[in-house]
Structure 1
Amino acid sequence: MSYNDYLPLWDEKKVQKFRSGSRRCSWIPVAIAMSVLLNVIFILGPSKAAPSTMPPAPSLTALDNYQHLNSQPIVNAAFMSTTPPVNSDENKIVTSLYTDAFAPGVAALGHTLNKVNSSAGRLLLYLPEKISSRALCIATSTGFVAYPIKRIPPPYEGVHPHFLDQYSKLTLWSLDSLSVQSLVYLDADTLVHRNFDELFSMPFNFAAVPDVYVDDPGFTLGFNAGMLFLRPSSTVFERMIAQIGTANYRAEDAEQSFLNHFYGSEAVRLPYAYNANLAIKRRKPDLWADLKREARIVHYTLVKPFLQGDYEEVELMEMDKNIVGQYGAWGGIYKEELDDWAQAWRETLQWHGADIAECRRSYHHS
């Protein structure tokens, strides 16, 4: 017996009405199912059939979402071919020495400047009361000319202990007294990878590279003071000295914070190639990989190959061992950069080892 022949125990008219209504409503589940299916096809189908035309959700900044898109060189070769050679008397590359521990860094920096054939003059600002004759001898062994300066003390309390002498960097603006028309300042913890004499052709008064942090805010418009381009002016220097104790800025970061406030919107922001801060590699490895192809100056902000402990001096013959001891810093991501510095130091000893050895002999007890 089929189910169509089966009659429940109720009135036949009600049965017929029930069957009629069931037929009328039987299309509803089918319609719902089709609607669901069509929506699934509509949502998922395009991604399988063709690439989406909608961009992905943006990251925090364009640099946090870095992509290798542009292959144009930073410097226009045709323009540079029309610029005159750099005058070494009027254009200087300047560094500083406030503690003996940084002397090997200055020596290695000088060697890398020699390698890239920069034609600018060299100048080393140092504090006579803080630097031994031995350290000064080592620091100037690769071409920097020593120039003693007076220490500019911090005007505020709360300056980071490593930056207590950094206000002395403002002396750069007084170097027009030496007939210096333009200069590039480099911290002693930098290495030069490519010639950057093109900077001396800029018409601006001040330029620097935006800073980078390993955490938030990451990439910023505030600049790092480890590399600066400037045109000295004693008038500007006097104005700075008059304002460092009255301007409202973060004291902990010393002269870098003051300069960011002093120049603010007028500072020309240079590409990262002129201050390749190691923090970039930690923040965005893809950007770092591209950056190293064009980098002029690499800044050893997060590891210092020539220091140990809390900015303590390393014996010169222990330098390689000290560098290897830093391989594990920051999860080992800077081994390549540490090796780069180690290679520069070995070359420094190869080319200037006799002078450095004489420094150690002549000023052993100084």
Structure 2
Amino acid sequence: MSVQNLLFLSSYHYRYIIIIILLISFFFIFDWTSISKSSHRFIIPSIRNNLLIRNLSISKKSVQKQYPFINRTININNSRVVRLAVVSAIYSDDYVEGIEVLGYSLRRINIQADLILFYISNRLNQVTLDRCRKVGWFLYAVRRIEPPRFAIIYQRFHDQYTKLHIWSMMGYDRVLYLDADTLVIRDVNELLYGTIFEDDRDELLGVVEDVWQGQLGPNFNAGVLLIRPNVTIFNDMLIKMHNMAAYGSYWAEQGFLNWYFKGSTGRLPLIYNFNNVLAIYHRDIYKRLRNRMKIIHYTYYKPFHIKKLNQLSDPSLIELWNMWNRMHDDMLNQSLIS
């Protein structure tokens, strides 16, 4: 073969290599531009090589296969069809009674949504999983979202960043998240098909003021969250949750969410996350709302860990415990739990 022919063949192959490189560069630039435009303030194009982010971040196409939920649909007044879910999470066998009673309380009000229960594989025994399933939960194993590496977090909050998975549930239009220590005592279907998202802002949350050391607000409590899933937000959270200098880490995901959403949250009335410490620090509020509250949040004590009333001294706390215990007994009488 002549030198001239060899050079011609070489240049011929180089042409294809150059074309391939140009095409790859074009798609990379196009993809980066699209992400930048669609995610506005939620994306910081950095730390993409972080192992946690690579393992947990997802795409809109893959998420529908990742969440094979029932996708129940209902029609609402404006003729939109929405897919609704109520989500809770269990990370310890010690919380099984709480999850059982919460699930029963939701079925009792005929909740118009799928009941999805997050759990971490190899954490729970089979008896616990069977009991949760029997009361109506659809069990879904999720990967634990580790807290920031150098975070100083109360032990009981170490798994709580895992709840951020709710933002990745693109099979649903609206999700109501409830902690395992909550109890639904009146109809809350209006939260799921109401108008809190009427302005179509993806970042908008439905939340309730928190109570800490007697102070009501300005932060919100993360035990009840009404959200619209958004994969862009979810992936961005996996990055920004490590920015502990901005929000601190003592309150884990609650501190992070208060910082992340700042003032862009829709505040719900106290009746949708009635913190039982209100019965101690704000008796006037308790007396005014005790016959109207819809979701009780047992932050001061866990009712499923209280076996005798003499463990409680305050009459209002006893009354709230009795509400949970009556729901528990009703559940047993319905033979939902063996």
Q: TM-score, normalised by structure 2?
A: 0.71
Q: What is the deviation of 1:294?
A: 1.9
What letter is aligned with 2:265? A
RMSD: 2.0
1:275 to 1:85, Cα distance in 2 relative to 1, 3 A:
farther
1:196-275 correspondence to structure 2 within 5 Å: 196-200=188-192, 201=194, 202-203=196-197, 205-215=204-214, 218-247=215-244, 248-275=246-273
1:84 to 1:107, Cα distance in 2 relative to 1, 3 A:
farther
Contact 1:208–1:228 (CA under 8 A) maintained in structure 2: yes
Partner of 2:311: 326
Are 1:338 and 2:337 counterparts?
no
Contact 1:107–1:138 (CA under 8 A) maintained in structure 2: yes
Partner of 1:75: none
Secondary structure of 1:334's counterpart equals helix
- Give deviations 1:191-237, integer Å, cap 9, x for gaps: 1011111122221531210101243xx11120000000000111110
1:109-188 correspondence to structure 2 within 5 Å: 109-155=102-148, 156-176=150-170, 179-188=171-180
- Give deviations 1:227-277, integer Å, cap 9, x for gaps: 000001111100000111124212111000000000010011111011000
What letter is aligned with 2:132? A
Give the number of the structure whose alpha-carbon radius of gyration is greater: 1
Are 1:278 and 2:296 counterparts?
no
Structure 1 unaligned segments of length 5 or more: list them. 1-81, 309-321, 358-366
Secondary structure of 1:210's counterpart equals strand
Q: What is the deviation of 1:129?
A: 2.1
1:84 to 1:197, Cα distance in 2 relative to 1, 3 A:
farther
Q: What is the deviation of 1:120?
A: 1.4
Partner of 2:90: 97
Q: What is the deviation of 1:144?
A: 1.2
Identity value in percent: 30
Counting matched residue pairs gives 255
Cα distance between partner residues in 2 of 1:83 and 1:221: 33
Cα distance between partner residues in 1 of 2:106 and 2:127: 22
Structure 2 unaligned segments of length 5 or more: list them. 1-75
Contact 1:213–1:280 (CA under 8 A) maintained in structure 2: no
What letter is aligned with 1:224? N
Cα distance between partner residues in 2 of 1:164 and 1:145: 24
Q: What is the deviation of 1:301?
A: 0.8
